[in-house]
Structure 1
């Protein structure tokens, strides 16, 4: 019997899994594919060891929306738990759990203890995943981070959990974006 544990990051397996799980959600699939493309573009500003990790996490970041994965209805947590059960590394699971300021939304949904099953990583990889997610719209097209946040708030509504924590989440997302853009500028100068 082969082990479910994937000791290495596997971009191709992540893409295949996301495609299979999101097949019935074409807009979510378009967004996911766009986020993965964007994450790949950010790799120039990352350590070689982290490049596949961020692209893998990008492919997997929204699998919690898929019906077979859905449990709590909070997609970062549902996706992370599914990945953990499926043998993905703890780090990939945690990156999915905490992408794009999920900790703030988990708090208002009463899921902060459950999300704490996964350690929150503060790193260039976590920044890049958030930046990739927050610079790609629902249709997979590139957008400005502020435009993406405005679109998300309009889509979810003024009374949504996302709107309730926007005053906390937005500064976190904008700070991650600033760090990623700074790293990209440094990488361009070094090239």
Structure 2
């Protein structure tokens, strides 16, 4: 699968049933594309993972209610996506912590081990956690606040995002530092 095919797959799964999620995915992909000019990363992989990261929300493939796992399983079943992209989708934005909250950590870890490419993992966190639900740029702090206000602090997502916040802020900081050094 190439970037264009990834974009089309995400569009087909998200645009009609979840237009706001589709706008977010497009914004995350745009953020990934913008990073390519300043960071030495596997750009094809990052942009594919960025546009595909939330496909698991699609009602057509949502089976567990945990979008990283559902999205990765769908991509694996399709058999057209590079394993690294699949593992990035499964593990995006500290998904292991949310999987733990949902009692799915063992499944996620055994099926889709966390990629060893820390730069790509950080870059995907940065792109996701600095993009609003409508696809606009924001700060990680504002994004975390928005997630908490949307889901509530005591929800599964609220508990997860509070646990993930230090890691999110650190990953975003590492990417911002690399971008600043490049300029």
User: Structure 1-normalised TM-score?
Assistant: 0.90
Per-residue deviation, residues 125-151 of structure 1 (Å, max 9, x unmatched)? 111111100011011111111000000
Is the partner of 1:18 in helix, strand or coil? helix
CA drift at 1:46: 2.5
In structure 2, what is the equivalent of residue 13 of structure 1? 5
Q: Which has the larger radius of gyration?
A: 1
Of 160, 171, 185, the match for 2:155: 160
1:51-104 deviations in Å (ceiling 9; x for gaps): 111011001000000111111010000000101111112111100011011110
Provide the aligned C-alpha RMSD in A: 1.2
Name 2:53's counterpart in structure 1. Answer: 61
Aligned length: 179
Q: 2:107 aligns with which of 114, 139, 145?
A: 114
1:80-119 equivalence runs, <5 A: 80-87=72-79, 88-116=81-109, 117-119=111-113
Aligned residue number for residue 123 of structure 2: 128
**Alignment partners' CA distance in 1, 2:175 and 2:33:** 13
> What is the CA-CA distance between 1:26 and the residue it aligns to?
0.6
